[in-house]
Amino acid sequence: MLGLDGFPHRAISPELTPRLWDLARGGGRAPDGGVTDLPSSTDPGFCSLLTGCKPATHGVLTTSWRFARLPDWAGVETPRVASIFDACHATGVRTAAIVADDRGLLCTGSADRRWPPDGVIPPGTDLDAHGYPVNAAVLPHSSLGFVFGHVNEADTIGHDYGPESEAARACYRATDQVVGVVLDALASNWADTVIVVVSDHDMQPRDSSPPVDPMANGTDGGWDAYIPDGGSALIHLKPGVDPHRAGKALLRIDGVETWVRSNDSVMVAGLKPGRIVAAPRYSSGGFHGAPITARTVALVGGGDPAVGRIASAIAARRPHLADWAPTLAPLLGVDLGLVDGRNMLR
């Protein structure tokens, strides 16, 4: 499984990403991409991918934990459920996790092999502009049962220059070449291989409109605090407030497109394209978090007989990030227990 952080579904094409395109042609690709929950950001998305549960269950509701200590109502920093690595470890299936942004993935502690070791990037590793290892430093090279590789540069470039910039297109092309190295390394075992390529979220450019501040719109919708996450925000409800009444009030705020209920006291407001929630800091280029960036890359390849069945499933119905672990676990002979996602092979 390869996780391409911030990589847009629309970037996959025969001209820009020929290796990914050919992989999908030989296997399958969700025509409209996959989907993730709001906020469509790194921590909730990858936790869903690796646990098979959605944010309301695994508890990681936002990526904003990176920037400040958050109140208890904002969820947890690490998942409160087991991951596919835990299930593999319990069954004796050996695993590896090679990740560029371990702070965001949070589910790899039970992997038998981890890079960076102990979460510490080795001295001399080439880093991108945000301090993450560059894609070329993050190459899965293992014959273990389950290998998860995460590359981050598309997210960094998208934030700094925008997802449609020439710099971003160059990064998408280079990421495709990194994927090609992995595919070449798997060639000798292709008949026994299932390779899944996903992203955690899409990216969008910001428009010139002012940031949306849910606390400064002159309406008492029943909330008393919010936490920004790009194009969405966690909204904390006052005790006893009806979420549906609060949702109607949120929709009256200029820039709000939708809302979803997270739990009894927390809602998520999703903004319209180009709009960003008022926050202490902003990306200079693109951002994510909103409904428009909830589309993910979703493709599968390899020579294992399961590939064709997975390809048919994702062609017929958009996969959620939480669907991948329950689908792969039976192929590994492991049991994830109760999860929110569905086994697409059923």
What pLDDT digit, counting tens, does each position of 10-68 carry?
999 999 999 999 999 999 999 999 999 999 999 999 999 999 999 999 999 999 988 88
d(CA 95, CA 141): 12
Give the pLDDT confidence score for residue 131 in this predicted structure.
65
Give the pLDDT confidence score for residue 129 in this predicted structure.
67
Give the pLDDT confidence score for residue 253 in this predicted structure.
94
Q: Are residues 107 and 50 in contact, defined by beta-carbon separation less than 8 angstroms? A: yes
Residues with Cβ within 8 Å of residue 10, at least 6 apart in sequence: none
Chain centre distance of CA 173: 20
Give the pLDDT confidence score for residue 121 in this predicted structure.
67
% of the chain with per-residue pLDDT over 70 = 91
Question: Per-residue pLDDT for 105 more than 90?
Answer: no
Q: How far is CA 256 from CA 41, 229, 250, 281, in A?
A: 17, 13, 7, 20
Give the pLDDT confidence score for residue 218 in this predicted structure.
54
Residue 342 phi/psi, 5-degree rounding, is: -115, 150
Encoding tokens for residue 117?
């070791």
Reported pTM? 0.92
Give the pLDDT confidence score for residue 140 in this predicted structure.
44
pLDDT tens digits for 125-149? 777 666 656 656 655 444 579 999 9
Residues with Cβ within 8 Å of residue 94, at least 6 apart in sequence: 88, 112, 113, 144, 145
Residues making up the chain, counted from first to last: 346
Q: Name the residue with tokens 């960003």.
A: 276
d(CA 6, CA 157): 9
Mean pLDDT of 227-252: 95
What b/e readout covers 113-144, taking b as 16+ CB neighbours within 10 angstroms?
ebbbeeeebeeeeeebeeebbbbebbbbebee
Domains and CATH numbers, the chain: 2-205+287-332 (3.40.720.10), 223-282 (no CATH)
Give the pLDDT confidence score for residue 221 in this predicted structure.
81
Give the pLDDT confidence score for residue 141 in this predicted structure.
41
